[in-house]
Amino acid sequence: MTAATERLLTPGEVANLFRVDPKTVTRWATAGRIGSIRTPGGHRRFRETEVKALLSELTTEATEPVRH
């Protein structure tokens, strides 16, 4: 998928994936923890591939056994 055809997610959709409040997603974007783009109307949108990569990375970290 090219950048022009990549699916863009709303803060609510991202929040559902991470099981957090949409305001949390907005705070993450403001802090630079997750990249976002703005629509011509000023709304935030998130690239699906970036969101899924971050979710996968965090899920992997959470499920790896603790090494002593």
Q: How confident is the model at residue 3 (pLDDT cuts 50, 70, 90)?
A: low
pLDDT digits (tens, 9 = 90+) for 7-22: 999 999 999 999 999 9
CATH architecture of 8-63: Orthogonal Bundle (1.10)
Q: Domains of the chain: which residue ranges? A: 8-63
Mean pLDDT of the chain: 88
Q: How confident is the model at residue 5 (pLDDT cuts 50, 70, 90)?
A: confident
Render 5-47 in DSSP notation, one character per residue: T--EE-HHHHHHHHTS-HHHHHHHHHHTSS--EE-TTS-EEEE
Q: How confident is the model at residue 57 (pLDDT cuts 50, 70, 90)?
A: confident
